[in-house]
Amino acid sequence: MRQPKIIDYTLLVILSLIWASAFFNIKIATYSFGPVTIAFLRVFFGAIPVLLLCYYKEIKIEAFSKDWHWFAMIGFINLVAPFFLIAYGVKSVQSNLAAILMSTTPLSSTILGHFYTKNEKFNLVKTFGILIGFSGIIFLFSDNLLIDQNNFISALLILLGSTCYVIGGVLTLKISKKKMKM
């Protein structure tokens, strides 16, 4: 592994700014579009550069193979469902709270990784981190200033959307291991 350079840190900061602004932009989009339209547009406009890159680099898209149903399921769970759930949830939740709720993804991945992978088992440090993380989530949900009865369901939808990313990642891992055995 090589040592990171200034350009690596600069690109990481730019990527962080783009990701952080996504929830703000989704919040703005909810004033004009519904969650289904927002999810469709995110998938559609995200697919264009990926397809162009695959064409330019002559990368075969395996989603058109005999295992297409797995790829369709991963695409739905990892893209369509979270995009819809997040867009629906952001309608009733502040964008900064949505970003905080989305930061629970590592907690979900640690828990699901323990049960559905062989090499991501709990240890003392992970268990301690999970307990701290969940205490933060409990604090957010118990504080009526951020989450109250008006936006409780929306906050849960955002958490479910973040968990969909993890489920999609676990499915992708399972598919890639299945492909390697073949």
User: DSSP states of 25-93 as a string?
Assistant: HHHHHTTTS-HHHHHHHHHHHHHHHHHHHHHHHT---GGGSTTHHHHHHHHIIIIIHHHHHHHHHHTTS
Domain count, the chain: 1
Q: Residue 1 falls within a domain, yes or no?
A: no
Q: What is the mean pLDDT of residues 117-140?
A: 82
When mean pLDDT is compared across 131-135, 143-147, 175-179, the lowest value belongs to: 143-147
Q: How many CB atoms lie within 10 A of CB 170?
A: 21
In a domain, 64, yes or no: yes
Q: How far apart are CA 81 and CA 117, in angstroms?
A: 23
**What is the domain range of residue 143?**
6-181
14 lies in some domain = yes
pLDDT at 182 over 70: no
More confident residue, 175 or 141: 175
100 assigned to some structural domain: yes
Task: Copy the structure tokens of residue 45.
Answer: 């406009």
Q: What is the pLDDT of residue 179?
A: 63
Sequence letter at residue 30: T
Q: How far apart are CA 13 and CA 68, in angstroms?
A: 35
As a whole number, mean pLDDT of residues 30-54 equals: 92
Give the pLDDT score at 142: 65
Reading the block at residue 74, the tokens are: 């991963």
Does residue 35 belong to any structural domain of this protein? yes
Q: Is the pLDDT of residue 63 over 90?
A: no
Average pLDDT score, the chain: 85
Please report which confidence band the pLDDT of residue 148 belongs to, taking 50, 70 and 90 as the band edges.
confident
Asked if residue 61 is part of any domain, the answer here is yes
Mean pLDDT confidence for 71-78:
90
Q: Is the pLDDT of residue 32 over 80?
A: yes
Whether 80 is covered by a domain: the verdict is: yes
Asked whether the whole model's pTM tops 0.75, one would answer yes
What does DSSP assign to residue 103? Answer: T
Q: Report the alpha-carbon distance of residue 107 to residue 129 in Å, rounded.
A: 8
Residue 179 makes CB contacts below 8 A (sequence gap 6+) with 67
Kindly state whether residue 118 falls inside one of the protein's structural domains.
yes
Q: What is the pLDDT of residue 53?
A: 93
In angstroms, the CA 158 to CA 138 distance is: 15
- Per cent of the chain over pLDDT 90 is 35
pLDDT score for 22: 83
